[in-house]
Structure 1
């Protein structure tokens, strides 16, 4: 029988040194797997011959699914099998505190913006600017319907320039007092309480990113300077006004794609906004 017509199995080793030597034929070639067939009779006291060791079946050569499975340990299960799934995939701080969503942060920002605008109106009223503006512009708007549109627009522009010139001192004071009120509101409340009115209403607070605790004064100040103060101060600088206007928008949107839900001012101050 030619070798090519043989079925896979154990045969007398054609390369062996004795008739007891066996080699495995896989149907195509002789494998380097050998065994010695024990003698049928063994003299008393003679050393026992080693028992033949069955070779591991080669994949695809006569093995069956049961052959491959029997005796094998249980395969590892998929990740998380047998364990309850996490209730959600909310991002948390290193110590497990839930981070605030962007929606809550935006809601808090809107509330805080309203608070600052109302404060600005109070300061403007105290400086007499509201009364001065009413005296300067109310007659023009009242007569606007009876005046040629082009002439009315020119009159308003002239009154506006005159208002700025006449009340420049009060307007500069309004800018600095509003900025100071914003700083007191954001820095002091965050440093002492960890939250502004808007954050309290939204159920969120500011804390250190890596450990529980209120932001230190320097962190609270850094947050306010980068997001509020510096953009407002640079708004009137030629060439920087556009950047000063765009940066707070980018900063406010940054938590939407940041893995830690931090704004740029959070990263500078090493803070995080969390639920609670």
Structure 2
């Protein structure tokens, strides 16, 4: 750590250099496009919202029961996608495409499935706070010397470049 008032040095991680914010953004866009298509295919047959007009002409909106189950399934699938892929490989499909990887902040080792689940749950909760929490979470890495988002800080992880010549902490899984 630099001395007080001194310049910040780049965070050095045994697993490789930190991923740029642009790589992280592109990777999450790929993941959300994939999950969006899958979610759309799952919820499409059920419809999202049914609008019902009352006898006095007033309108109310009610959820279709099948839609609730479909949305719950999509949420579980999303949590499983990030938890399993991050826990097993340290990479989602988007991170694989952009050659980035999630590792422990304290040495660059593989993260646990619990840490992977914590990352996505914190991200979900922050986005649920009127999207403001999610925006703050996403932008946080721009001012952080370790390029950590709030969900990275909660799970004690960093995202690094997964160069082919760098050691893979997930190789044993």
Structures share fold, TM-score greater than 0.5: yes
Residue deviations 1:179-217, cap 9 Å, x none? 101011101000001000111111101011122321111
Q: TM-score, normalised by structure 1?
A: 0.49
Distance 2:12 2:156 in 1: 12
Shift in Å, 1:170: 1.5
1:193 pairs with 2:78: no
Distance 1:183 1:96 in 2: 25
Q: Is the 8 A contact 2:100 2:159 kept in 1?
A: yes
Distance 2:115 2:70 in 1: 26
Segment drifting more, 89-98 vs 246-255: 89-98
- How do 1:89-238 residues align onto structure 2 when only pairs under 5 Å count? 91-95=10-14, 97-125=16-44, 128-130=45-47, 158=53, 164-165=61-62, 168-228=64-124, 230-231=125-126, 235=128
Rg larger in structure: 1
Shift in Å, 1:129: 2.0
1:259 pairs with 2:145: yes
Distance verdict in 2 for CA 1:94–1:171, change over 3 Å = same
Secondary structure class of the residue paired with 1:221? helix
Shift in Å, 1:231: 4.3
Distance verdict in 2 for CA 1:114–1:90, change over 3 Å = farther
Q: Is the 8 A contact 1:97 1:274 kept in 2?
A: yes
- The RMSD of aligned alpha carbons is 2.7
Q: Which runs of 5+ in 1 are unaligned?
A: 1-88, 137-155, 236-242
The aligned length equals 151
Q: Is the 8 A contact 2:23 2:98 kept in 1?
A: yes
Distance 1:272 1:180 in 2: 24
Q: TM-score, normalised by structure 2?
A: 0.76
